[in-house]
Structure 1
Amino acid sequence: MTTTKVLLIGASRGLGLALAREWARDGRHVVATVRGSGRTPLHDLADADAGSDGGPEPGRIEIETVDVTEPAQVTALRDRLADRTFDLLFVNAGVTNQPEGTVAETSTEEFTRVMVTNALSPLRVIETLQDLVAPGGTIGVMSSGQGSVANNERGGHEVYRGSKAALNTFMRSYAARHEGERRALVLMAPGWVSTDLGGPGARLSIDESIPNVVRTLDALRDKPGLHYVDYLGRTVAW
């Protein structure tokens, strides 16, 4: 079954923006969020005329505002959307940090920033917004192949890796608490994609990753339980 109504958290740029564009092009209705009140590329996408530069039809994208690190804002978003039901909740919001240096060399403030944004906040969002997702729908979150403990054979990016490994563990706990429910739960590893976060040396383009991410999420609908997969639908080792 195709996902038709999407709640996308974190879509102002990069992978989130590309996801909003892909879903809207496919005729899905997307409620997508940005942080703060400034204009973003998502606003330009939402304003695009039908057929202009491949843009979606007007009205396919609604924009909401939320900072996922502020629980009161997440609750306020839940209240604004209380009468809506979505086929998919996908949490994309996340940050990175400098790849150099060990975790011990990272300041407490920087460690806290990355962990709160990448691991704690997505679960708070999911716990707060889960009731907006249809019983047979999907709850997904943007993870990373770097969150795999088994595949960490080279080190590097220690704090970012740790935040994604923590996110994966927290989602596994969430899945255990919701065992028996019909919803599919997805940890998505999109590949190393060329964005502001991924950097110019990344192996994949957005066009190589994101359409496959969407297809993989569609394929997992109606498949309950937790799935840790990459953009091609391949299982990632924990």
Structure 2
Amino acid sequence: MTNDAASASGEGRTALLVGTSRGLGLGLVQQHLARGWRVIATVRDHSPALQALAEQAGDRLSIEILDINLPAQLESLGQRLAGTRLDLLFVIAGVAHDPAQTIGTIADDEFIHILRTNTLSPMRVVERLEALVPSSGTIAVMSSSLGSISLNESGGYETYRASKAALDMLLRSVAARRSKSRRTFLAVDPGWVRTDMGGPDATLDVDTSTIGMTDMLEARRGTPGVFFVTYRNEELGW
């Protein structure tokens, strides 16, 4: 796709990107705006970086407050968005933990927080807002190759892996319940990226990952079914 075609590809389409204050979420907002999309971006609280983008983008970027772990905020957002067509719903928000921490040593409250933030709450967002996504639209969640059961040969990040594997399973369950739907369901691996979560030793910068993911989302658009894919549009084993 040429740069001109990429810039125009999102004209007339709307994306809801959940969890965009920094890192991959903020990068995905930038990429979709650059391609002509209208973007609704959520943050838990004020984000100066996102606000600066909004000042540049005008009415093509609106900011909503949402802590995905607070059901009342999700319900309020759903009511505000009633009647809005979402060509893309992408839940990006998530947390990580000490990669060396084993399932036998993690505290109960930390385990619950990770599973709630990475698994339960993203799927609640999908369940609450999926009716706004038309049959030609895409529903995506930010997963990780670490969530692949078949690819786990190194261990580490045990609770994080479990939370992403559970997220993938629940996405497949939603897709199975919507077997007659023509929507595209995606569990997305962004790669190992230099963000607050990925750390300074990661192999990718934010631009490389988010450009790749945005290209992949466009390539997969209109392809019915549920897929586990990388930012390079390569399918992964569940």
Structure 2 length as normaliser, TM-score?
0.93
2:187 and 2:21 mapped to 1: Cα distance?
21
**Alignment match, 2:110:** 110
Deviations 1:101-144 (A, max 9, x none): 21110000000000000000111000000111122100011100
Residue 34 (structure 2) aligned to one of 18, 25, 37: 25
Give the counterpart letter for 2:180 in structure 1.
Answer: G
The percentage of aligned residue pairs carrying the same residue is 45
Matched ranges for 1:21-100 at <5 A: 21-36=30-45, 38-48=46-56, 57-100=57-100
Give the counterpart letter for 1:227 in structure 2.
Answer: F
- Report the count of equivalent residues: 229
DSSP-derived class of the 1:135 partner: coil
1:130 and 1:173 mapped to 2: Cα distance?
14
**Alignment match, 1:161:** 161
Give the counterpart letter for 1:15 in structure 2.
Answer: L
Report the alpha carbon displacement of residue 58 of structure 1 after superposing the two structures with TM.
2.3
Divergent runs of 4+, >4 A: none
Give the counterpart letter for 1:191 in structure 2.
Answer: G
Deviations 1:142-181 (A, max 9, x none): 1001000111100001111110011011111111111121
* 1:13 and 1:40 in contact (8 A); partners too: no
Give the counterpart letter for 2:175 in structure 1.
Answer: A
2:76 and 2:58 mapped to 1: Cα distance?
26
Q: Which moved more, 1:1-10 or 1:217-226?
A: 1-10
Report the alpha carbon displacement of residue 2 of structure 1 after superposing the two structures with TM.
4.5
1:184 and 1:172 mapped to 2: Cα distance?
11
Deviations 1:173-226 (A, max 9, x none): 111111121100000001001111110000111121111100101111111110
Deviations 1:51-74 (A, max 9, x none): xxxxxx322211001110111111
Deviations 1:11-31 (A, max 9, x none): 011100000011011111000
Give the counterpart letter for 2:215 in structure 1.
Answer: R
Unaligned residue ranges in structure 2 (runs of 5+):
1-7
1:2 and 1:148 mapped to 2: Cα distance?
31
Unaligned residue ranges in structure 1 (runs of 5+):
49-56
* 2:19 and 2:42 in contact (8 A); partners too: yes
Matched ranges for 1:169-208 at <5 A: 169-208=169-208
2:47 and 2:187 mapped to 1: Cα distance?
29
**Alignment match, 2:24:** 15
**Alignment match, 2:216:** 216
Q: Check if 1:126 corresponds to 2:126.
A: yes
2:39 and 2:70 mapped to 1: Cα distance?
22
2:105 and 2:207 mapped to 1: Cα distance?
36
Give the counterpart letter for 2:15 in structure 1.
Answer: V
**Alignment match, 1:53:** none
